[in-house]
């Protein structure tokens, strides 16, 4: 699926948008891409930094949730990262790279979603972590 305007699925706006397209989304897995551009908020010395990678994983989760909310005729919910667990950064992508991010939804307890995020560059995993994301009550 090619998304015309990613901001219809996530609450973030430029310059805080960390995904370009939703590749696929279902109730368990969301997949997005991001092309790393020079001048991006989280690019430093030609590399996309750790905070950008974490936010990319969180926004991938949000995009999947927002996609399903839109299918149900509802607005995309606002979520907040509540906790990170086992953050592992193997490599920082550089300007010109395109990363693919996969977020698996592991569990939901009330308004807390527990997800596992993995970021790939050229089919090689470069980052991963577990996130607890709190969804704001509407």
Q: Where are the domains of the chain?
A: 6-135
- Give φ, ψ of 72 to 5 degrees: -90, 5
pLDDT tens column, 1-21: 555 588 888 888 888 899 999
Task: Give pLDDT, residue 48.
Answer: 98
Topology of domain 6-135 in CATH is Thiol Ester Dehydrase; Chain A (3.10.129)
Q: Cα(102)–Cα(68) distance, rounded to whole angstroms?
A: 16
Q: Which residues contact 69 (CB under 8 A, 6 or more apart)?
A: 75, 76, 77
pLDDT tens column, 72-97: 888 888 889 999 999 999 999 999 99
Whether pTM > 0.85 for this model: the answer is yes
């Amino acid at each position: 699926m090619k998304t015309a305007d990613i901001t219809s699925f996530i609450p973030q706006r430029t310059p805080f948008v960390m995904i370009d397209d939703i590749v696929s989304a279902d109730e368990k897995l969301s997949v997005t891409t991001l092309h790393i551009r020079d001048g991006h908020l989280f690019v430093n010395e030609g590399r996309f930094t750790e905070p950008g990678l974490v936010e990319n994983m969180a926004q991938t989760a949000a995009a999947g949730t927002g996609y399903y909310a839109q299918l149900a005729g509802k607005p995309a919910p606002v979520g907040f990262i509540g906790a990170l667990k086992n953050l592992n950064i193997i490599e920082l992508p550089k300007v010109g790279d395109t990363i693919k991010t996969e977020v698996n939804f592991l569990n939901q307890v009330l308004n807390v979603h527990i997800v596992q995020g993995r970021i790939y560059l050229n089919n090689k995993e470069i980052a991963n972590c577990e996130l607890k994301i709190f969804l704001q009550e509407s």
